[in-house]
């Protein structure tokens, strides 16, 4: 079944460093989304990248999409302690309506 | 503008009871989806409703049901609660199915 899988499962870095998280999926997609979740609360939508886009920026976030490799990456530059959260990639179900999430990457930014 | 709201924030129930969770979408959004998230995992799709009709259902037993009202708010009902139903229940709304979904803060359900 179609599913986003994030890598690594957990990442610990120092404040100011860059954090890179990767996501792989299995089938063709129309778009891919990244979400952040703090302490088991609601998900915050970060960015949506469409299948005809290769790169997208939003503030300190940079998302890339490689449809030939069925993969995406999320880069957070100059990380801050407040970036500590779980990050999920999500893809819409092919021919359906649901959004499918991976298990997420847990990012820890140490001050 | 108000985002997606959910109530209650926390809920404690015992096995066998039933529970009703409520969600109000972002104004103008007609699609509401429900997700279950157990600790350490990503959200799992339960239902999607659009214009009061069920458009999609995940792999959940019939104990789970939902409905959408004319004002596009939604309720998720779970009957005969099991310990394994303990999770964070997330509601998300979108302008139309297949577009970016915006999530509420969730309802933390604990079944004892």
Look at the block and give the residue holding tokens 């015992």. B14
Tell how strand B102-103 and strand B31-37 pair up: unpaired
The domain locations on chain B are 5-111
Q: What is the mean pLDDT of residues B84-105?
A: 88
pLDDT-based confidence at residue A3 (cuts at 50, 70, 90): low
> What CATH number is given to the structural domain containing A57?
2.60.40.10
CATH 2.60.40.10 fits B5-111, yes or no: yes
What residues in A contact B30, CB-CB < 8 Å?
none
- The reported pLDDT for the residue numbered B97 is 58
Residues 13-42 of A with CB under 8 A from B: 30, 33, 35, 40-42
Q: What is the pLDDT of residue A1?
A: 42
**Span B37-74, pLDDT tens digits:** 998 899 999 999 998 899 889 999 999 999 999 999 99
Q: Which domain holds residue A84?
A: 5-110
Contacts of A100 in chain B (CB under 8 A): 45
Find the distance separating the first CA and the last CA of chain A, reported in whole Å. Answer: 39
Task: Report the number of distinct structural domains present in chain A.
Answer: 1
Tokens 């310990």 sit on residue: B83
Listed residue (A1, A96, A90) closest to B31, CA to CA: A96
């Amino acid at each position: 079944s179609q599913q986003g899988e994030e890598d690594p499962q957990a990442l610990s870095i120092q404040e100011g460093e860059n954090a890179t998280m990767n996501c792989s999926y299995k089938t063709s997609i129309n778009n891919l989304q990244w979400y952040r979740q703090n302490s088991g609360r609601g998900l915050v939508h970060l960015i949506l990248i469409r299948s005809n886009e290769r790169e997208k920026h939003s503030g300190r976030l940079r998302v890339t999409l490689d449809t030939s490799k069925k993969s995406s990456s999320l880069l957070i530059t100059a990380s801050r302690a407040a970036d500590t959260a779980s990050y999920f990639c999500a893809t819409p179900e092919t021919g359906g309506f649901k959004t499918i999430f991976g298990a997420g990457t847990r990012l820890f930014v140490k001050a | 503008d108000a985002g997606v709201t959910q109530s209650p924030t926390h809920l404690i129930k015992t096995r066998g009871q039933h529970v009703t969770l409520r969600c109000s979408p972002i104004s103008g959004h007609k699609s509401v989806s429900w997700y279950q998230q157990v600790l350490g995992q990503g959200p799992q799709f339960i239902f999607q409703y659009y214009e009061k009709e069920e458009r999609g259902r995940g792999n959940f037993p019939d104990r789970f049901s939902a409905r959408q009202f004319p004002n596009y708010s939604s309720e998720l009902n779970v009957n005969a609660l099991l310990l394994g139903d303990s999770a964070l229940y997330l509601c998300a709304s979108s302008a139309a199915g297949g577009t970016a979904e915006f999530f509420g803060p969730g309802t933390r359900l604990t079944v004892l």
